[in-house]
Structure 1
Amino acid sequence: MPAFARQRTEARMYRLASVDSSGRLRDRSIIGAMGWEPGASLDIRQGGGVIAVRRDPQRVFTVTGQGHLLLPSAVRHWCGLSAGDRVLLTADPAANLLVVYPPMALDEMIAQAERAVLGGDPT
């Protein structure tokens, strides 16, 4: 059975969100789905062009008072994010994991999928 035809079993949530000039992500629904209230301490890490966020009471990053995720400027810089960019957010509440996929990461994932389907360079 093709991968896309399987029944979905994970409880992941997906959203698109804009990054504002301060680094806030404009979608608060995904933060609510994670069960993270304003002031919740977070661990924010960047690697491989994506940003991983987990609740961690030992960390200094927090959900804003308005319930937004605020990405630190260094993380935005490493991922090439600018104000107005749209990102893909994937939330897995059971794993306490929110992943932010910037446009460059999405471009690479899509190019890899196209190469797999087309058998080489998609251009």
Structure 2
Amino acid sequence: MNVKEYGSGYFGDWIFDEHGLPAYEYKCNQLVDEKAKTFTNPKLRNPIEHFHQVGNDRLVAIASNFGYVQVRQDEGGPKILNDYNPENFQYAGGFGYLVDDNEILCTLYNGSDELKRIFGVGYFRKILLSK
């Protein structure tokens, strides 16, 4: 993947994926970086959550920089079909775990540099770099 020289911004780099299409590699650690905070209504979105939307007029996947994906449906009014609300044990989707005898790996972002997050044309890719 080639990095684009200009226009990438503070949070990561514009790249070209393996199909030659533009994608954004998100590199910011939003858990510790003060520049990650945005002006949002905290009842609707976490101020350090950035997202990428993929979809159509019926369904939209909202991929978060935290690694989970929510699905929004707009028929009959907008609604989230799989909300991320840990206090109520609702964890949306789009992430997974790999467990063996020595290690637990997860694609939910925890501040580690071991998880690469790429927002592409029609996809959200996470690459977990294990020890």
What is the TM-score when the length of structure 1 is the normalising length? 0.30
Higher helix share goes to which structure?
1
Return the structure number with greater relative CO, CA threshold 8 A, min gap 6: 1
> Normalization by structure 2: what TM-score?
0.29
- Higher strand proportion (structure 1 or 2): 2
